Copies of this chain bind each other. A is one copy, B any other.
Amino acid sequence: MEYHGGNIYEHNKAIIDFSSNINPLGVPQCFKGALLKGIADFSVYPDREYKKLRQNIARYIGNISIENIIPGNGAVDIIYRALEAIEYKSLYISTPTFSEYKRAGEKVKMAVKEINLYEQEYEKIDLGGLIENIKEQSVVLLCNPNNPTGTLIEKTEFLELLKNLQKTKSFLIIDEAFIEFAPKFKDASMVEFISQYDNLLIIRAATKFFGMPGIRLGYGITSNIGLINSIERNMEPWSVNTAAEIAASCIFDDHEYIKATLDWIGSERRYLYQKLSELNGLKVYSSSSNFLFLKLLDEKMDAYGLQEKLLEYNILIRLPKGFSGVSRYNFRIAIKDRKNNDILISSLKEVIETDNI
């Protein structure tokens, strides 16, 4: 099986894991208390309708009815079940992107079409090229901001795409797993348009922003009740576990955690981007997420060589493996707290500027 990040479980020593995009603030404080209080809840089956869970999510999203929300065992569960439910033949994805999209499409036997819509700098995406090519009854699946490039797609681009997809009876799925890390994320999200477009499904995850990938909680948002019903029919019962239900009962109201996370990402993204940009032989792409996409400019060392050298500094980076359309000189790093970011900066500086002469 191919893994997304570097697998920290393969390494015996203590590793600073820059390969996984996790909020370094860790698990929200409220979760511990809520778990203790809710320990007996593990002794009963979760509500198959997940009513309270959907209420908590709806309150967090705002201006949305619980009927428009479907929770799953992580965002990947929603991705797989949605593609199964839609039952269209073609899936369009924009490379490079999260490898599970292709895997999910192939699993349900869709024809997966990978299109590179980026200009060289990964700063902008041109959906126009996509619009021209879409066949009837297709699904377009885009990650916003995109993993691994960090690119944010403009709303106007999405709206243009949506209108065109309506004409071809096609569907747009936007994976907003990282949207809360984007500057002014409430403006960046497409969630306000779900009532306007019933060919739109937005996927979110509680695991990224709230620093708890271990709970496995993702959810889909759409005004298309037919789609929600089909996804439900394709889902296994009790797909969301009790720890995820408990987390959702407190994290969305943890305003202290939310503020601290927004403060952290705002300042550390800027800091790390600037410091890494100053290094010779390294291209840093601008990012609207909690990770940075980079490229080694000096072809004497590729990302695989770099990973090996950085492991001597106990640092694990994300290799380009599994991402279509990137070179072996590309890699991705998570943005961490100042202390760890500084360790990365100085280690990279030593490896690139000193070792690599």
Tell me the smallest distance from the CB of A230 to a CB of chain B, in Å.
11
Which residues of chain A from 37 to 93 have any CB-CB distance to chain B below 8 Å in the complex?
A: 39-49, 51, 73-74, 76-77, 80
Interface contact B73-A73, CB-CB below 8 Å: yes
Contact of A48 among B3, B73, B74, B80 (CB under 8 A): B3
By a CB distance below 8 angstroms, the chain B residues around A212 are: 42-43
A4, closest chain B residue (CB): B237
Interface contact B45-A213, CB-CB below 8 Å: yes
**Does A32 touch B at the CB level, under 8 Å?**
yes
By a CB distance below 8 angstroms, the chain B residues around A77 are: 236
Contact of A22 among B9, B44, B213 (CB under 8 A): B44
By a CB distance below 8 angstroms, the chain B residues around A8 are: 44
Interface contact B40-A73, CB-CB below 8 Å: no
Interface contact B27-A43, CB-CB below 8 Å: yes
By a CB distance below 8 angstroms, the chain B residues around A43 are: 22-23, 26-27, 211-214
Tell me the smallest distance from the CB of A100 to a CB of chain B, in Å.
7
**Does A232 touch B at the CB level, under 8 Å?**
yes
Give this chain's copy count.
2
Contact of A49 among B9, B32, B100 (CB under 8 A): B9
Contact of A243 among B1, B5, B22, B242 (CB under 8 A): B242
**Does A180 touch B at the CB level, under 8 Å?**
no
Which residues of chain A from 291 to 320 have any CB-CB distance to chain B below 8 Å in the complex?
A: none
Contact of A215 among B23, B42, B234 (CB under 8 A): B42
Known: A9-B51, A39-B35. A238 touches B76 (CB 8 A): yes
Interface contact B80-A236, CB-CB below 8 Å: yes
**Does A153 touch B at the CB level, under 8 Å?**
no
Interface contact B80-A233, CB-CB below 8 Å: no
Tell me the smallest distance from the CB of A19 to a CB of chain B, in Å.
10
**Does A276 touch B at the CB level, under 8 Å?**
no
Tell me the smallest distance from the CB of A50 to a CB of chain B, in Å.
9
**Does A18 touch B at the CB level, under 8 Å?**
no
A217, closest chain B residue (CB): B241
Interface contact A238-B74, CB-CB below 8 Å: yes
A23, closest chain B residue (CB): B43
**Does A195 touch B at the CB level, under 8 Å?**
no
Report how far A25 CA is from B237 CA in the complex, Å.
24
Interface contact B76-A243, CB-CB below 8 Å: no
Report how far A146 CA is from B22 CA in the complex, Å.
43
Interface residues of A (CB under 8 A from B): 1, 3-5, 7-9, 17, 20, 22-23, 26-27, 31-32, 35-36, 39-49, 51, 73-74, 76-77, 80, 100, 107, 211-216, 232-234, 236-239, 241-245
Known pairs A9-B47, A76-B237, A76-B238 / 10 extra A-B pairs, C-beta < 8 Å: A3-B237, A9-B51, A26-B40, A35-B39, A36-B36, A41-B214, A42-B212, A42-B243, A214-B241, A216-B238
